[in-house]
Amino acid sequence: MKKINFYAGPSILPREVIEQLAQGVLNFNESGLSVLEISHRSADFEAVIANACELVKELLHLPAHYEVLFLGGGASMQFCQVPYNLLPPNGTAAYVNTGVWATGAIHEARFFGNTEVVASSEEGNFSYIPQIPMIGKEYAYLHITTNNTIFGTQYHQLPTCECPLVADMSSDIFSKKTDASKFDLFYAGAQKNLGPAGTTLVVVNPEILGKTNRAIPTMLNYQTHIKKGSMFNTPPVFAVYGCYLTLQWIKKRGIEQIEADNNAKAALLYAEIDRNSLFTGTAKPEHRSVMNATFTINRPELEKTFLQFATEAGCVGIKGHRLVGGFRASMYNAMNIEGVKTLAEVMKTFENKYA
Ligand SMILES: *Cc1c(COP(=O)(O)O)cnc(C)c1O
């Protein structure tokens, strides 16, 4: 049976990208070699990474001087690489705590300087985006997590600050139009909306670098990777190739169309969550994520039954994170509206059977 992939990450990729990747594993660009065995210095791969960076610039309308990097280490590495490069030992960085990933970023920043949690929704189990005060220029930067993958919340409005704005966009990058010029640095682990796990996209305004007065190990210094075009050492070749193919797919569809489709999918699923007498959404409605919908079942004894019911209907990956419980349906770019319709119908059928 056809599976509809609602996993939070690694997660659904466009079928055509997977087919192109499979072809590349067998015979990359008709070279007679697999993408898994080519040199990262080969002309074909140099073109892949250069074109991927160009596509990122084009799709996000980046200011001309911004740099695009494909690094290893995951978004979690950025939790330490950001403060290593941006937070002077005697400086203070402002962080907003909106969930597990934000908490992780705050934890790592504390190794490098002072951090101040300027807003948090922890007391409400991260079910909303807190009010953020105006952040002044005395801070090294303000760090936010634009979409909270685990708790199903998302910023629909950006905070105002006079210092550089830094964002973890792992789970909503390329899901909607973004004014990239508002950010001085943002990053995203590829495996949510961009490609296979193994690489992390980093976009940075180079003007904010080199100001901490701290020695930075070579591999952790953004300037190393800027100078070498993400090729200081061997980049994750396969993952970057997957991102390149996905970026082409995004360009073909257009970010505006993707955004409209994402909004339609989310509206459809949240309407069913709100209508259905068995389910309750866990996030505050005005902060609900367009990417990850979190909801619980009003009769806990039916939780396992529903999970099994949905799985048997082909809807896989909807078990919620243990910190929220219940269910989570991730609806990344590659999920089509039919998939979401199927899940909504499964919820309706389940209600008719059990409510
Ligand atoms: C998944 C995720 C991460 C962790 O990404 P890794 O690449 O596994 O380190 C960080 N932040 C957010 C918002 C995520 O969704």
The token pair at 155 is: 């910023």
Which CATH architecture does the domain made up of 15-253 adopt?
A: 3-Layer(aba) Sandwich (3.40)
DSSP character string of 291-342: SEEEEEESSGGGHHHHHHHHHHTTEES-BPPTTT-SEEEE--TT--HHHHHH
Ligand 1 center from residue 76 Cα (angstroms): 6
Q: How many other C-beta atoms can be found within 10 angstroms of the C-beta atom of residue 229?
A: 16
C-alpha Rg value of the chain to the nearest Å: 21
Q: What's the rounded Cα separation, in Å, for the pair 172 and 174?
A: 6
User: For 4-12+255-354, which CATH superfamily applies?
Assistant: Aspartate Aminotransferase, domain 1 (3.90.1150.10)
- Is the pTM higher than 0.85? The answer reads yes
Nearest to 64 by CA among 203, 173, 187, 164: 203
Ligand 1 center from residue 195 Cα (angstroms): 13
How deeply is 134 buried, as exposed, middle or buried, from its count of CB atoms within 10 A (0-12, 13-18, 19+)? exposed
Per-residue pLDDT 10s for the chain (355 aa) are: 889 999 999 999 999 999 999 999 999 999 999 999 999 999 999 999 999 999 999 999 999 999 999 999 999 999 999 999 999 999 999 999 999 999 999 999 999 999 999 999 999 999 999 999 999 999 999 999 999 999 999 999 999 999 999 999 999 999 999 999 999 999 999 999 999 999 999 999 999 999 999 999 999 999 999 999 999 999 999 999 999 999 999 999 999 999 999 999 999 999 999 999 999 999 999 999 999 999 999 999 999 999 999 999 999 999 999 999 999 999 999 999 999 999 999 999 999 999 8
> For residue 174, which of 93, 58, 282, 312 has the smallest C-alpha distance?
58
**Helix ranges restricted to H, the chain:** 15-26, 43-59, 74-86, 100-109, 222-227, 237-253, 255-275, 303-312, 337-354
Report which protein residue has its CA nearest ligand 1's atom 13: 170
Give, using CA atoms, the residue closest to atom 5 of ligand 1.
Answer: 75
Looking from the CA of residue 148, the nearest atom of ligand 1 is 13
In angstroms, the CA 279 to CA 288 distance is 15
| Domain residue ranges in the chain | 4-12+255-354, 15-253
Which ligand 1 atom is at minimum distance from the Cα of 146?
13
Whole-number Å distance between alpha carbons of 150 and 173: 16
Report DSSP state, residue 95.
E
Residue 299 — φ and ψ, nearest 5°? Answer: -120, 95
